[in-house]
Structure 1
Amino acid sequence: MKNLKDSSYTRRAFRAVFVVLGKLPKKKKLVVFESFHAKQFSDNPRAIYEYMKEHYPDYTLLWSVDKSAIKLFEEFKVPYIQRFTINWFWTFPRAEYWVNNVRLPLWMPKPKGTVYLQTWHGTPLKKLGLDIEEVHMPNTKTDSYKKNFVLESEKWDYLISPNSYSSEIFKRAFHYNGEVIESGYPRNDILSNSSETLVSNLKKDLGIAEHKKVMLYAPTWRDNEFYQKGKYKFEFQFDLKNWEKEFGDDWVLLSRMHYLVAENFDFSAYEGIVYDVSRYPDIRDLYLASDLLITDYSSVFFDYAILNRPVIFFMYDLENYRDQLRGFYIDIEKDAPGPIVQTESELFQAIQELKDMDVQSNQAFAKFKKRFTSLEDGRATERVVQAFLK
């Protein structure tokens, strides 16, 4: 079935149906949302949906959902249509608004009269789109990868940017000439508006004892380490037994893999110490519940800095990632809002040094925060919605 769905014949047929139905009268005030290829209820689209649900009751809000994610949306009691079904084809091309945070399938043209809000999903550290010199992803040619980005960005009417630094990069890397809403990220409003009660409840929901402190490990994927297209390998570069011996009495570790990483980690030997939260619906809750972040090249640290909590960069393959795979937009060794480490012993030492530190007293952290998070005042969603509904 999957091969049939992915065949060029099926894509052409889908496109033809989509074009015809897109010419029918628009369903006014219908907003259709997607997050991470219709598989998540998360990120900027979720924040916009929740805001509109509260403040715009006269709008119809629907999620486009992959079959694999139906259970999740039913648990959240979120109205949805299953992707690529008859009802979906009847609805999606006729919606007045689309809200999405990644690229749509290439065969989906944007109908005339549809307003497409592209939220994207992070402040960029690693190079994006047209700025990538050579693409190392499986079954992907550099020229076609870049061409496809241009074809996608031509559909966008609005693009959200979290800061002026991102606006400049997005316009160039996506070859985007439309309107940029430089607003801060809607998904980060909750980080500015959180309460101690919310954090306490999140820990309870995760099954973490109130007295335990929480480390969040959230690395990204490596373009050249894969099983197949869209399924990437990942191997821990620090020993969990050693981590438990060093920190297990006072801390728990939340392991959050990128959604493209295919590994199923077995942490049963560390029950109550290490938690696999890769499938947890939204990382924003994990930010709030944690006291310290360990990451590498993921954009999560730009958001996490809003909370004024320590960040450690475990970049064990820095030279290769920087010089061969992607390249960076900033001088991370100079501008990182926390220490860069490359070995297990360096990582553990950095944790010991930072775990009780007030990062706001650190000049580098303050400078970083001013540059990248100055718009994150808890009202980004309001600004975005007012801009694209005008």
Structure 2
Amino acid sequence: MFSLFKHTNVEANRISFIIDSRESFKGNLDYIKKEFEKRGNFEFHFFYKDKLSFSSFKKLAGSKYIFLNDNFFPLAFMKFSDENTIVQLWHAPGASKKFGGSIDIESREILRKISENTDCLIVTSKNIIGYYSEAFQMPESKIKALGLPRMDYYFENHDLDKLKDDFCQKFDVPKDKKIILYAPTFRDEEKYNNVFNYLDVEDFNRQLGEEYVLALRLHPKIKNFYKDDISSKGKYIDVSGYESEQELMLISDMLITDYSSIMIEYSILNKPTIFFTYDLDEYLSNERGFYYDFKTTVPGPIVYTSDELIDAIRNGISDESKISEFVMTQFDEIDGHSSKRIVDYLLNNGG
């Protein structure tokens, strides 16, 4: 279908965003759109990759700038004009777990074809360009460390008191409680996906409930592993459906995670993170691995049992120098101007 429109005139003011109908990972695209709106009269088109139409293909072919935020394998076979500029923003900051061509040897050929049709890939630091080059099978010369657009969110004027008040009202939480955000990731090994087989929530609340409330944000893939809804018993708050993960990070006082890349984004807030890795040895042996030594690099204490987790929270274990060191490996600039740098780069033709 796309080939029917390969001779379409490219409009200098048209911008397309490739996205799915659930609008997954839309944050980057929203910030890029807002930045272009500051620069002039641009026309924006959302190309929904699971809702195809002739008119949508025609607008895509006629766009000067085309942005992606996630994988789109058909890009390997679409023949764009030299006038089109295709930009992969990617949806996650930094580099943590290995992905793409770093672990999937069979996909490397199609990834190479996609990279041939991509003009640039945006990352958050020069330190991670080599990792992304391997993951995307893309020459390092096409990878630019300009930042992650949606990270600009943290530099906007947010009324933190109001955000927390609204949260507490929504979930009937006393306003003086500190919020611990628990965001576990998905495991291929099914038996490790129900974290409540490893976290004693009753003991957690008995020892910490006076000061803290536990807000659980489940990875979409692991909801099926939770047979009983205990949130109604007041043991934790289920914030899996909360619209803004970034808002949760802003109002939380601490993060508990394991291997999730949320650790990278949270680290710029300079707040404590505890790594509850009850299956660490098995994960490191059987899952996809990391771009760094997990045990020596993560910006917070690693604990293996519910008792150790509770002790780490109670004792306020946090190493600001380690957080700062970790941030420096993942970000070149943390200033709220990532979207501006990217748009400047594109409008100046890569200058």
TM-score scaled to structure 2, two decimals?
A: 0.84
Post-superposition offset of 1:194 = 4.8
1:155 and 2:120 matched? no
Q: One-letter code of the match for 1:24?
A: T
Q: 1:118 is matched with which residue: 75, 88, 91?
A: 88
Q: Which residue of 1 aligns with 2:347?
A: 389
Distance 1:18 1:293, change over 3 A: same
Q: 2:285 is matched with which residue: 313, 319, 323?
A: 323
1:215 and 2:180 matched? yes
Once residues 37 and 104 of structure 1 are traced to their aligned partners in structure 2, the CA distance between those partners, rounded to angstroms, is 14
Q: Which residue of 1 aligns with 2:74?
A: 106
Q: Which residue of 1 aligns with 2:147?
A: 184
Q: Deviations over 1:90-110 (max 9, x none)?
A: 433332222122111336625
Q: 1:256 is matched with which residue: 217, 236, 240?
A: 217
Q: Which residue of 2 aligns with 1:62?
A: 45
Once residues 259 and 217 of structure 1 are traced to their aligned partners in structure 2, the CA distance between those partners, rounded to angstroms, is 14
CA contact (8 A) 2:95 2:330 kept: no
Post-superposition offset of 1:219 = 2.1
Once residues 149 and 105 of structure 1 are traced to their aligned partners in structure 2, the CA distance between those partners, rounded to angstroms, is 8
Q: One-letter code of the match for 1:201?
A: L
Alignment of structure 1 residues 335-350 onto 2, 5 Å? 335-350=297-312
Once residues 64 and 262 of structure 1 are traced to their aligned partners in structure 2, the CA distance between those partners, rounded to angstroms, is 29
Q: 1:298 is matched with which residue: 254, 260, 265?
A: 260
1:201 and 2:166 matched? no
Q: Deviations over 1:167-223 (max 9, x none)?
A: 12112332212522212222212224454x145325515725432211111222224
Post-superposition offset of 1:305 = 1.0
Q: Deviations over 1:335-374 (max 9, x none)?
A: 22100112211112112122xx6x5x63322322333334
Once residues 37 and 155 of structure 1 are traced to their aligned partners in structure 2, the CA distance between those partners, rounded to angstroms, is 23
CA RMSD for the aligned pairs? 2.8
Q: One-letter code of the match for 1:235?
A: N
Q: Which residue of 2 aligns with 1:234?
A: 193
Q: Which residue of 1 aligns with 2:329?
A: 371
Structure 1 gaps of 5+ residues are 1-16, 68-82, 133-141, 227-232
Alignment of structure 1 residues 342-361 onto 2, 5 Å? 342-354=304-316, 359=318
SS in 2 for 1:46: helix
CA contact (8 A) 2:126 2:332 kept: no
Distance 1:41 1:322, change over 3 A: closer
1:244 and 2:244 matched? no
Distance 1:56 1:260, change over 3 A: farther
Q: Which residue of 2 aligns with 1:97?
A: 65
Post-superposition offset of 1:382 = 0.8
> Number of residue pairs matched?
338
1:127 and 2:98 matched? yes
